[in-house]
A and B are shown apart, each in its own frame.
Chain A
Amino acid sequence: EVQLLESGGGLVQPGGSLRLSCEASGFIVRDNNMNWVRQAPGRGLEWVSIVYSGGNTYYADSVKGRFTISRHSSKNNLYLLMNSLRTEDTAVYYCARERVVRGVLLGMDVWGHGTTVTVSS
């Protein structure tokens, strides 16, 4: 079964750091475009970052320079290292696979259940 399972969320003080993990099963992370998407309390979905199957990475302007997306070299995991955290980073963070067929992007077809990050003093 194709699944994603996030972990690593928690309570952190402003200025602190946190690393989120996303373990995939049923498919290979490195062969797919993988995203992090977040949702602040009572708000809509906000795209955070992507790592393409080829390795290129991109970030939303709101997190660029503070967050780093990566993949494990041997485990089937995706990560998001979050530094210099701000109260506005408080959200549920989801990892999601982006389906690609013959170079055409067909949406995020697999999502994890999310992990909650709370930035507060």
Chain B
Amino acid sequence: SYVLTQPPSLSVAPGETATISCGGNNIGSKIVHWYQQKAGQAPVLVMYYNSDRPSGIPERFSGSNSGNTATLTITRVEAGDEADYSCQVWDTSNDHRVFGGGTKLTVL
């Protein structure tokens, strides 16, 4: 089965840029989606189809996907961005959906 690997945690100062990685074998050939989950809340889709933002998601959020790594980038980080971020793909070999383990973003 397909495995997605994320760093468990990332700390960034306000105003700086957060870069959250999602590793997988040839992930660049897959479509990656990203979810934000704040404490005690349900996940929210913040990036789909690698680099498209749903309505209501700030332009500070962007995504890319190439080779063995997909990336969610948040520029000018704010305190309200503190959350867990998870990547997700469709495993075409078995029609399963796969989530990465999640990255906890802490805003210092």
Which residues of A does B touch, CB under 8 Å?
Answer: 35, 37, 44-47, 50, 56, 58, 60-61, 94, 96, 98-99, 104-109, 111-114
On whether the beta carbons of A58 and B94 are closer than 8 Å, the reply is yes
On whether the beta carbons of B33 and A47 are closer than 8 Å, the reply is no
Q: Could you mark each residue 23-35 of chain B with 1 if its beta carbon is under 8 Å from any beta carbon of chain A, else 0? A: 0000000010101
Which residues of A lie under 8 Å from residue B45 when comparing CB positions? 107-109
* In the complex with contacts A58-B95, A106-B33, A108-B35, A45-B43 CB distance below 8 A: yes
* In the complex with contacts A45-B102, A47-B98, A94-B42 CB distance below 8 A: yes
Which residues of B lie under 8 Å from residue A99 when comparing CB positions? 48
Count how many pairs of residues, one from A and one from B, have CB atoms less than 8 Å apart in the complex.
65
On whether the beta carbons of A113 and B48 are closer than 8 Å, the reply is no
* In the complex with contacts A105-B31, A105-B90, A106-B49, A60-B96 CB distance below 8 A: yes
Chain B residue at smallest Cβ distance from A98: B97
B51 interface residue per 8 A CB criterion: no
* In the complex with contacts A44-B102, A105-B90, A108-B35, A61-B1 CB distance below 8 A: yes
Please classify the interface of chain A as helix (H, G, I), strand (E, B), loop, or mixed, using the class held by over half of its residues. strand
A17 to B49, CA, bound (A): 37
**A60 CB to nearest chain B CB (Å):** 7
**B54 CB to nearest chain A CB (Å):** 7
Chain B residue at smallest Cβ distance from A45: B99
**A43 CB to nearest chain B CB (Å):** 8
On whether the beta carbons of B96 and A47 are closer than 8 Å, the reply is yes
A45 to B41, CA, bound (A): 12
A113 to B63, CA, bound (A): 26
* In the complex with contacts A45-B86, A104-B49, A106-B48, A111-B42 CB distance below 8 A: yes
**B89 CB to nearest chain A CB (Å):** 9
Which residues of B in the span 59-106 have a Cβ within 8 Å of any Cβ on A?
Answer: 84, 86, 88, 90, 94-102
10 contacts between A and B (CB under 8 A): A37-B99, A44-B100, A45-B86, A45-B99, A56-B95, A61-B1, A94-B42, A108-B45, A113-B42, A114-B42
